[in-house]
Amino acid sequence: MKFRSQRVAYLFFATSMLLFTLQILFGFIMAFAHLGFDGLHDIIPFNAARSTHLNLLVVWLLSGFMGAAYYMIPDEANREIYSEKLAIVQWAALNIVGVIAIIGFQFGWWEGRKFLEIPRELDYLVVIDVLLFIFNIGMTIWNGKRFTTTSIVLFVGLTAAALLYLPGMITFDSQVLDSYFRWWVVHLWVEGVWELIMGGIMSYLLIKLTGVDREVIEKWLYVIVGFTFLSGILGTGHHYYYIGTPDYWLWIGGIFSAMEPLAFLGMALYAVGMARAGGMKHPNRIALFWTVGCGVMSFVGAGFLGFAHTLPQVNLWTHGTLVTAMHGHMAFWGAYAMVVMAMIAYAMPRMTGRKLYDHWIPEWAFWVSNVGMMGMTGAFAVAGVAQVYLERKSGMDFLEAQKAIEIHFFGLILAACLLSVGIGLYILNFIQYGLPSEEAVSPGAA
């Protein structure tokens, strides 16, 4: 790495790895409950396991984004982080808030709003923490006076993500309005500003790993995120079909969300195209695997599987079934888990000075975890489609239909075991790298 302070990224990455492990653990609790083994019901009822699973995901991804920014921004701005101390304080605060939230969930301290369960008091701490982070990153860019497109896109994405957290902090008496503004956070995050974050990180990695000209990469970055907002903003309408909102959302949401896959297709073509143009000469092949994999899998999960249920005629039947879970898993994995894992795979050798990428462990980690996630998606897909036909189309009682699809949760667990092995290998590799070292700092390094 070029600058000593880039090493703080390590703290955030380590937090990510730990929380990711916990997230998977809570996922298993839920899968077993679906299969009929709910032995933990009295201590961790399904709703507690679920809130924990979702929020661990959000926090580990945010931690990963922060780590990525702390690594990438100094490199792009060409100077040390504005304040390394502040970064450490902000990291500790993020962990404390996260731990309190997760423990609180087990005691029913939450708001029952999917993805936004963190109670209001802690929301304020989250906001303060994120503001500190943005201040620190912003000052680094400002003082660096080198404004690259990748860092600006990343910065705008992070700032907008923070702003969009606010509509989720309003209390409503109406379930309809509650839901309306909950999507301002959830949808405009994952199908809007988080894509800027993903695009920024991905472009940085492509510049570093493929050697393609920065101008070319950055131009396409603008085109892709342009498409994201062109389709994604009004695409929010695909959540406004059936919640008590006016019916013009049926066609507005349908048309615009149907165009959203284009942005993801662009992302995939862009990653594959740049990797081919650059001839994949960089020795850290694994980091490039994750980067290109991210482009491809985000298209599969978000673009293709999102499209599968986004038209109102289809969504009328699939809304609120396991079909949503099928899409949610592959989309989060492909777009956001993989971009964080790509960044970690790229940054670790540079922060520690050890080149542990040319080995079977990271390579198998990549393939096994991806095959595992594809299996999980398949299991959810079969269960979801069967649920739609039995319960929604044929009018079978809910519990009876669940019994009929129970077996697919066995398949889900098998695939999840595969995913866990892959992630286990990835984390093993992460641990083998050890801590960032002084020797790895070399001002001449890219």
Residue with tokens 């999840």: 416
Nearest residue to Fe ion, scored by beta-carbon proximity: 187
Q: Of 7, 34, 187, 208, which one interacts with Fe ion (CB under 5 A)? A: 187
Q: Of 4, 24, 35, 46, which one interacts with ligand HEC (CB under 6 A)? A: 46
- Return the one option of ligand HEC, another protein, ligand HEM, none that residue 243 interacts with (CB less than 5 to 8 A, by type): another protein
Sign, Cα dihedral of 218, 220, 222, 228 = negative
| Min CB(125)–ligand HEM separation in Å | 23
Coil, strand or helix: which one is 366?
Answer: helix
Q: Of 65, 270, 332, 357, which one interacts with ligand HEM (CB under 6 A)? A: 332
Q: Of 124, 244, 276, 283, which one interacts with another protein (CB under 8 A)? A: 244
- DSSP class per residue in 57-82: HHHHHHHHHHHHHHHHHHHHHTS--S
Nearest residue (CB) to ligand HEC, 42 versus 215 = 42
* Near another protein in 24-63, by CB under 8 A: 30, 33-34, 36, 38, 41, 45-48, 50-51
Encoded tokens for 234: 């009004």
**Residues 267-306 as x/- pattern, contact with another protein by CB under 8 A:** ----------------------------------------
* Near another protein in 172-211, by CB under 8 A: 173-180
Encoded tokens for 223: 């085109």
* Near another protein in 67-106, by CB under 8 A: none
Encoded tokens for 251: 């066609």
Region binding ligand HEM by CB under 6 A among candidate stretches 91-99, 163-171, 328-336, 407-415: 328-336
CB-based contacts of 227: which residues, under 8 Å, 6+ apart?
A: 259, 262, 263, 266
- DSSP class per residue in 95-150: HHHHHHHHHHHHTT-S--STT--S-HHHHHHHHHHHHHHHHHHHHHHHHHT---HH
Encoded tokens for 438: 């002084």
Is position 45 an interface residue for ligand HEC (rule: CB under 6 A)?
Answer: yes
Number of H helices, E strands in the chain: 17, 0
Please say whether the beta carbons of 161 and 127 come within 8 A: no
- DSSP class per residue in 16-65: HHHHHHHHHHHHHHHHHHHTT--TTTTTS-HHHHHHHHHHHHHHHHHHHH
- Return the one option of ligand HEC, Fe ion, ligand HEM, none that residue 15 interacts with (CB less than 5 to 8 A, by type): none
- Return the one option of another protein, Fe ion, ligand HEM, none that residue 225 interacts with (CB less than 5 to 8 A, by type): another protein
Q: Of 28, 32, 115, 229, which one interacts with ligand HEM (CB under 6 A)? A: 115
DSSP annotation of 189 reads I
d(C-alpha 94, C-alpha 111), whole Å: 19
Is position 307 an interface residue for ligand HEC (rule: CB under 6 A)?
Answer: no
DSSP annotation of 171 reads -
Region binding Fe ion by CB under 5 A among candidate stretches 191-199, 213-221, 295-303, 317-325: 191-199
Residues that bind Fe ion (CB under 5 A): 187, 191
Residues that bind ligand HEC (CB under 6 A): 45-47, 399
Residues that bind ligand HEM (CB under 6 A): 114-115, 186, 190-191, 238-239, 257, 260-261, 298, 302-303, 306-307, 309-310, 315, 318-320, 324, 327-328, 331-332, 335
